[in-house]
Structures are given as structure tokens and as C-alpha cells.
């Protein structure tokens, strides 16, 4: 039986190199190996344009080509009759192939040689089975669809963002066997992404940041497209991205690199999927594995569905939080304050906050923290609501589309990571409590 | 009788390279410049290195054999998976003949060597057997004189015509 193009995606992962035959107008054939065959949709594939070689020359004057791909399990051979349509030099398809090529180049020691100049898009005219049977249907695989279903079922019951994020990452581990994952939230005003949840790393890395367009996560965010790399690609690894970001940053931005990324030092496979709703980017879901070629098109599909559900849940929870804030419950007795005073220093210029000279947080989350500890010190307050933060003119919060809840999660988790005597405890929908265990000494350093 | 005075395009080392441990793909095209491609199961190099013969499964090569039979030109790429060393040969035409004495043995020996190569890049025994299953099929010998050779190992010199060593 002739498979569909979708059923052949596992032959495009590069385990067995594919070959392309083209023909010059004078009838001279040419046959060459391909770095990758990229599945575009049910009727199109894209091939890499790296050099102006004979294949390239041929397809520009004679658009017909035939590609032979091999099933990496059964060794079945398939021929795809192709017609060249166009070359894309920017956008999601290009960036996705560029990242994948970087992984292949790194794997084969060709980093300096392979550079993507364009993505050549072809229409698939015909598929022919040369010999063998596809392994796609009967190979024993982890039942991903079942795992995804279980993941999604657990998201349904989540009534706040923190639980939603944690459930998603926990579900990936429990039901899909994906053990290293993180969620980053988009800070549109600063064109950056900050980590709010992670799983499978020695350090949570909450609060660590990456710029839009930087590394695999930043590129996925910029292009609103999933990016998947099957080998360690040096230029997309965190360590490299963060180091370069640090080198480029001015002294004022150095704090951005002061929270280390939780990512694996020697990641073998990476997959970053944007969490977006229409034009609005909420963040990026990122998974990785020390194993090479761990993620296939199947995992990519599953994570795109999961990210879609996450984004809808984020929208729904934000709407609910704004419109259905719970009324205040009776304040709990304040926890005992004892011990030596803790020095809290706030720099108004960037709202960076230091606790006993250790960096805690900055930006909007830093401004919120400063308001909370001030109100606690001045008025003895411990109970707060999201609404009052939203309405507080001193905080200058971005508009309603900004995810205040995500910033509170960030603050809550940074405190849990870095500070034993101050904690934020959720007390209801849109309400929380500031628990302070030691006396506070507040110092405000005015900005320019 | 004419005597070929030019040096063969392949030196002894490259002639050796073609015969074992390499993946071999053969392409041709029809009069309308529609390309065709198929895997070959082994290669024989003439003692004077001026004629190259590749072995094709008849069942798998319908389009390629039809195109070559109609006078189409030939291109063959040889690549060694463990080193990425790759060479492409081109000829203006090819002749198709039954296997000669000893060709079946050459095919089987080639199948063993390529199986070893595939194993050393991580594929198991079932895959090795399956990818070389064509070695047992009805086969023909396709012979051509390489008129051009191209270095295709990924790198700065990929695509360059091979320099003929004197």
C-alpha cells in the first residue's frame, strides 16, 4: 500500500540520509545526498539550500526532482516525485530548518560548513514504494496520543496558573516520559521570556530570562513556530546563548544573567513550542533530553496540542481572575516575627530588589515585592488582592493583557528559592498573603 | 585498434573506494528531463579503471533501466556512511547486460561490507539485512565510462571536479 506523505515523516528524521536526483536541461542527471527532508504539510516538503551546487542550478531551470527516502526501522525505500515551487529565506519554516540544520552540522562536525541560505519548497506529485514495508504503523512506540489525553485531562481541573504550569510539566513526565521541561512566560514590554516553572533540573531556574530571537526558545517565540533539534547544536545551547547575551549586555542588564538557566549542559535533543493564542504570545513550552533524536514529529504534534490547550487555559484563568475575585477571608493571625532584621534594598531605577545583599528579583515583580513589604512595614498588612495591585498607580503595571498572575508566581517561586523568611501564600482566587518571619529593614535607593 | 592515451579518471585508491562499504545510488533521466533514481547493490571496476559496472535489481529499477535503455545519461554517487566521503561519477550513456560470471559473488560480498558499515553507524541486524535484500533479486549489470567525477564529501571542495592524478 502506498503511504501518505504524513505517514512517511519518520523517514525524514535523518537517521538514513535521503538522496535527490535532478536533471540539467541538456539531459545530464545529478544525484546528491540531502542534509534534511522537512515535512511541511500533507502535500509539500522542503529541502535545504546551502550551496549553489548542481542540484540548485538544475531545479532553477528544470523544477522536477526525485527524492529517495529510507524507513529507519524497516529499511523500506520510497521515491517522492517532486516539483520545485519556491525558496523561503525567512519566517517559521526557514528558522525551523535552520535550527535543525545547525544540529545536524554540529553532529557531523560541519558547523563551519553548513549554513542555510534558503528553504526550497517542493510539491509532492507522487509517492512510490520501491521495496519493503513501512514500520510506522506497527512499531512499538510509547502511546503518545494516550499520554497527551491524560495530560490534557489534568489541566482541566486547574483553577490557578501556578497549578496549571506545574500540572502540564508533571503530566509530560508522568504520561509522555518527557523528564526535562520548562515553561517561560512572555514579557512583551521587554521582549523577553522568563522562566516560571521547570521540572527535572537540580535548580529551578525560575526568573532566568532569554531574549526573543535568542537560542531555540527565543527563535520559537519570535517565529511563533515549533523548533526541534535532534542533536546538540552549539549555537542553540543555553550556555552559549546566555554567555553571548552576557557579553552583549551593558552593566545595567547584568542582573538578567544572574539567575542561571536550568537547562541541561549537554542537551542531545531540544524542542521549543510557542504557547500563543491568535497574535498573543503567552510564552514557550520547552522540553529537552540528553538522548539524541529523542523527539520526533509525533512529540512535536503532541506538544503543539498541549501548548494550544495551555494557552486557552491561561486566557480563561486570566479572565476569571479579573472578574471573579473572591472576597477577603478573615485574616489569619500574623506569623511570629523574630530573629535578626533582614535588609531589603530596592533600586527604583529598575525595581531590582536585594535581600541581605543577594539579588532577588527586578522589574514588575520587583516593584510588586517592594509595595508588599512597604505596606507590611508601614501598615502591618499581610493580606493582598490582585485587583489592588492592578489599580495601584505606583506600580505602573502594563495593561490588562499583561499576566499579573504569572509575575506573582515568579515572585513567589524566587522567594521560595532564595529567601527563607518571606513567603507568598495564595489564599483564594485573586488573593494572597505575605508571610514575614523576621523583622524587615527597608532601604529605597531612588532612581534617576 | 585505437589506444586510449588519456589517464583514467579514477586512481587506484578511488577505484578501491567504489567497491565496498559505500552506499551506491544511480540516477538517469528521460527525454523530457524527468530524473529517476535507484539503489545499486555493488560495483565492479575494470582493470584499466575506464569502465564502471553497477548492479541493479530489475524489480526496483524500472524507471532507471527504461531511461538508460533509451540512451539517457548516468550519474552514480558513492558515499561511505562512517566518513561521509562521497564521490559522484557521470557518464554520457550506459549499457545494460546480464550479470557476468562472478558478479553475483561480488554483489554478495558488497552486501556484507555495506552491512558492516551500516552496523557501525548504529543500525541493527534486521535493518542491515533489509537494506541489502535487493542483493538476492534478479539483477542486471549497468556499465558506463566515467567522463567526469566530482568530489561530494561535505566541505569547502564539495562539487569540485576531481583532479586527475598523473
Band (pLDDT 50/70/90 cuts) for residue A136 is low
End-to-end alpha carbon distance in chain B: 24
| Nearest CB partner across the interface for B127, out of A31, A68, A75 | A75
| Nearest CB partner across the interface for A23, out of B29, B86, B134 | B29
Question: C-alpha cell of A151?
Answer: 495530560
Domain boundary pick from A131, A153, A185: A131
- Tell me, yes or no, whether A174 and A69 share the same domain: no
Rg (CA), chain A: 26
Q: What is the CATH number of the domain that holds A93?
A: 2.30.110.10
Helix (H) or strand (E) holding B67: helix B62-69
- Tell me, yes or no, whether A229 and A319 share the same domain: yes
Q: What is the CATH number of the domain that holds A413?
A: 1.10.10
What is the per-residue pLDDT for A164?
96
Is A328 contained in some domain?
A: no
Q: How far apart are CA B56 and CA B36, in angstroms?
A: 13
* Percent share of chain A, pLDDT over 70: 85
Is A187 contained in some domain?
A: yes
- Tell me, yes or no, whether A350 and A385 share the same domain: yes
What is the per-residue pLDDT for A233?
66
- Tell me, yes or no, whether A261 and A160 share the same domain: yes
Domains defined along chain B, listed by start: 12-151 (2.30.110.10)
Mind spelling out the 3-state secondary structure of A151-165?
Answer: HHHHHHCCCCHHHHH
Band (pLDDT 50/70/90 cuts) for residue A199 is very high
- Tell me, yes or no, whether A211 and A301 share the same domain: yes
- Tell me, yes or no, whether A184 and A262 share the same domain: yes
Q: Count of CB atoms within 10 A of residue B147's CB? A: 14
Q: Answer for the pair B76, B52: CB distance below 8 angstroms, yes or no.
A: yes
Indicate the number of domains in chain A: 3
Domain boundary pick from A90, A106, A131: A131
Cβ separation A131–B74 shorter than 8 A: no
**Whose CA is closest to B64, among B102, B94, B41?**
B94
With 60 as the cut, is the pLDDT of residue A139 above it?
no
- Tell me, yes or no, whether A295 and A204 share the same domain: yes
Cβ separation A79–B84 shorter than 8 A: no
With 60 as the cut, is the pLDDT of residue A238 above it?
no
- Tell me, yes or no, whether A55 and A152 share the same domain: no
- Tell me, yes or no, whether A38 and A118 share the same domain: yes
What is the per-residue pLDDT for A107?
62
Question: C-alpha cell of B95?
Answer: 549499457
- Tell me, yes or no, whether A376 and A313 share the same domain: no
Q: What is the pLDDT of residues A271-321, one digit of tens each?
A: 999 999 988 999 999 999 998 888 989 999 999 999 999 999 998 888 776
Give how far B1 is from chain A: nearest CA, Å: 30
Chain B partners within 8 Å of A53 (Cβ): 158-159
Buried-state track B77-112, b at ≥16 Cβ within 10 A, e below 16: bbbbbeebbbbbbbbeebeeeebeeebeebbeebbe
Chain B within 8 Å of A190 (Cβ-Cβ)?
A: no
Band (pLDDT 50/70/90 cuts) for residue B157 is confident
Q: Answer for the pair B36, B28: CB distance below 8 angstroms, yes or no.
A: yes
Q: List the single range of A13-22, B4-13, B51-60 with lowest mean pLDDT.
A: B4-13
Cβ separation A29–B38 shorter than 8 A: no
Q: Which domain holds residue A266?
A: 144-323
Chain B partners within 8 Å of A24 (Cβ): 33
What is the per-residue pLDDT for A3?
87
Band (pLDDT 50/70/90 cuts) for residue A330 is low
Cα dihedral A218→A223→A227→A231 (10° resolution): -60
Considering A83-87, A218-222, B126-130, the range whose residues carry the highest mean pLDDT is A83-87
Q: How far apart are CA A91 and CA A400, in angstroms?
A: 29
| Nearest CB partner across the interface for B77, out of A24, A32, A72 | A32
Is A82 contained in some domain?
A: yes
Q: List the single range of A14-18, A368-372, A394-398, B103-107 with lowest mean pLDDT.
A: A394-398
Is A228 contained in some domain?
A: yes
Residues written for chain A: 448
With 70 as the cut, is the pLDDT of residue A246 above it?
no
Is A139 contained in some domain?
A: no
Is A329 contained in some domain?
A: no
**What is the three-class DSSP state of A393?**
coil
Average pLDDT over residues A201-209: 91
Band (pLDDT 50/70/90 cuts) for residue A250 is very low
Q: What is the pLDDT of residues A355-400, one digit of tens each?
A: 998 999 988 899 999 999 999 999 999 999 988 888 888 777 765 5
Band (pLDDT 50/70/90 cuts) for residue A221 is very high
* Percent share of chain A, pLDDT over 90: 53
Helix (H) or strand (E) holding A364: helix A363-379
Cα dihedral A28→A29→A33→A39 (10° resolution): 120
Q: What is the CATH number of the domain that holds A180?
A: 3.30.450.40
Is A263 contained in some domain?
A: yes
In the block, cell 577505484 appears at B15
Q: Which residue of B has its CA nearest to A113?
A: B155
What is the per-residue pLDDT for B111?
94
With 60 as the cut, is the pLDDT of residue A256 above it?
no
Q: What is the pLDDT of residues A35-65, one digit of tens each?
A: 789 999 989 999 999 888 899 999 999 999 9
Q: What is the DSSP letter of B163?
A: P
| Nearest CB partner across the interface for A32, out of B34, B130, B152 | B152
Q: What is the pLDDT of residues B34-91, one digit of tens each?
A: 999 999 999 999 999 999 999 999 999 999 999 999 999 999 999 999 888 999 999 9
Q: How far apart are CA A324 and CA A436, in angstroms?
A: 28
- Tell me, yes or no, whether A275 and A360 share the same domain: no
Cβ separation B133–A131 shorter than 8 A: yes
What is the per-residue pLDDT for B1?
44
Provide the greatest CA pair distance for chain B: 52
Band (pLDDT 50/70/90 cuts) for residue A115 is confident
Average pLDDT, chain A: 86
What is the per-residue pLDDT for A405?
86
What is the per-residue pLDDT for A278?
87
Q: List the single range of A96-110, A149-163, A350-364 with lowest mean pLDDT.
A: A96-110
Q: What is the pLDDT of residues A409-440, one digit of tens each?
A: 999 999 999 888 999 998 888 889 999 999 99
Is A137 contained in some domain?
A: no
Q: List the single range of A280-289, B5-14, B105-114 with lowest mean pLDDT.
A: B5-14
Band (pLDDT 50/70/90 cuts) for residue A252 is very low
- Tell me, yes or no, whether A68 and A148 share the same domain: no
Handedness of CA A132, A137, A143, A149 (dihedral sign): positive
What is the per-residue pLDDT for A301?
94
Amino acid at each position: 500500500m502506498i503511504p501518505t506523505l504524513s505517514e512517511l515523516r519518520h523517514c525524514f528524521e535523518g537517521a538514513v540520509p535521503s538522496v535527490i536526483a535532478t536533471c540539467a536541461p541538456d539531459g545530464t542527471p545529478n544525484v546528491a545526498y540531502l542534509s534534511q527532508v522537512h515535512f511541511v504539510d500533507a502535500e509539500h516538503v522542503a529541502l535545504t539550500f546551502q550551496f549553489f551546487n548542481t542540484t540548485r542550478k538544475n531545479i532553477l531551470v528544470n523544477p522536477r526532482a526525485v527524492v529517495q527516502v529510507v524507513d529507519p526501522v524497516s529499511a523500506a525505500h520510497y521515491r517522492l516525485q517532486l516539483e520545485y515551487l519556491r525558496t523561503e529565506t525567512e519566517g517559521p519554516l526557514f528558522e525551523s530548518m535552520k535550527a535543525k540544520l545547525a544540529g545536524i552540522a554540529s553532529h557531523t562536525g560541519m558547523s563551519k560548513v553548513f549554513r542555510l541560505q534558503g528553504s526550497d519548497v517542493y510539491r509532492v506529485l507522487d509517492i512510490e514504494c520501491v521495496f519493503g514495508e513501512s514500520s510506522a504503523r506497527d512499531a512499538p512506540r510509547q502511546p503518545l496520543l494516550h499520554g497527551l489525553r491524560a495530560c490534557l485531562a489534568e489541566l482541566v481541573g486547574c483553577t490557578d496558573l501556578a497549578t496549571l504550569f506545574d500540572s502540564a510539566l508533571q503530566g509530560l513526565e508522568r504520561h509522555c516520559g518527557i523528564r526535562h521541561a520548562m515553561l517561560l512566560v512572555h514579557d512583551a514590554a521587554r521582549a523577553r521570556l522568563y522562566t516560571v516553572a521547570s521540572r527535572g533540573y537540580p535548580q529551578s531556574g525560575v526568573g532566568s530570562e532569554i531574549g526573543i530571537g535568542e537560542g531555540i526558545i527565543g527563535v520559537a517565540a519570535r517565529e511563533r513556530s515549533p523548533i526541534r533539534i535532534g542533536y546538540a547544536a552549539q549555537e542553540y545551547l543555553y550556555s552559549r546563548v546566555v554567555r553571548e547575551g552576557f557579553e552583549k549586555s551593558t552593566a545595567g542588564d547584568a542582573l538578567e544573567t544572574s539567575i542561571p538557566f536550568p537547562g541541561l549542559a549537554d542537551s542531545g535533543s531540544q524542542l521549543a513550542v510557542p504557547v500563543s493564542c491568535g497574535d498573543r504570545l503567552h510564552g514557550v513550552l520547552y522540553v529537552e533530553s540528553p538522548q539524541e533524536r529523542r523527539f520526533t514529529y509525533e512529540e512535536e504534534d503532541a506538544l503543539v496540542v498541549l501548548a494550544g490547550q495551555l494557552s486557552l487555559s491561561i486566557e480563561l484563568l486570566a479572565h476569571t481572575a479579573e472578574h471573579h475575585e473572591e472576597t477577603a477571608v478573615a485574616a489569619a493571625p500574623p506569623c511570629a516575627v523574630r530573629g535578626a532584621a533582614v535588609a531589603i534594598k530596592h533600586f527604583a531605577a529598575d525595581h531590582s530588589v536585594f535581600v541581605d545583599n543577594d539579588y532577588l528579583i527586578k522589574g514588575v515583580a520587583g516593584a510588586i515585592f517592594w509595595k508588599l513589604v512597604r505596606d507590611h512595614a508601614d501598615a502591618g498588612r499581610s493580606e493582598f488582592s490582585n485587583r489592588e495591585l492592578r489599580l495601584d498607580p505606583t506600580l505602573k503595571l502594563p495593561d490588562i493583557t499583561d499576566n499579573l498572575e504569572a509575575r506573582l508566581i515568579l515572585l513567589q517561586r524566587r522567594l521560595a528559592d532564595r529567601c527563607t523568611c518571606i513567603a507568598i501564600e495564595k489564599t483564594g482566587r485573586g488573593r494572597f498573603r505575605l508571610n514575614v518571619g523576621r523583622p524587615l529593614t527597608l532601604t529605597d535607593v531612588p532612581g534617576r | 585498434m585505437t589506444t586510449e592515451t588519456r589517464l583514467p579518471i579514477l586512481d587506484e585508491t578511488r577505484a578501491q573506494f567504489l567497491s565496498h562499504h559505500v552506499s551506491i545510488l544511480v540516477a538517469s533521466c528521460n527525454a523530457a528531463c524527468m530524473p529517476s533514481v535507484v539503489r545499486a547493490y555493488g560495483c565492479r571496476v575494470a582493470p584499466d579503471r575506464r569502465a564502471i559496472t553497477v548492479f541493479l535489481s530489475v524489480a526496483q529499477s524500472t524507471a532507471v533501466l527504461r531511461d538508460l535503455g533509451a540512451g539517457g545519461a548516468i550519474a552514480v554517487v558513492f558515499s561511505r556512511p562512517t566518513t561521509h566521503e562521497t564521490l559522484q561519477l557521470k557518464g554520457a550513456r550506459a549499457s545494460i547486460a546480464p550479470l557476468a560470471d562472478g558478479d553475483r559473488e561480488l554483489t554478495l560480498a558488497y552486501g556484507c561490507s555495506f552491512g558492516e558499515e551500516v552496523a557501525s553507524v548504529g543500525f541493527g541486524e534486521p535493518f542491515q539485512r533489509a537494506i541489502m535484500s535487493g542483493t538476492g533479486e534478479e539483477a542486471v549489470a549497468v556499465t558506463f565510462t566515467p567522463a567526469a567525477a566530482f568530489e561530494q564529501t561535505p566541505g569547502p571542495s564539495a562539487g569540485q571536479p576531481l583532479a586527475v592524478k598523473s
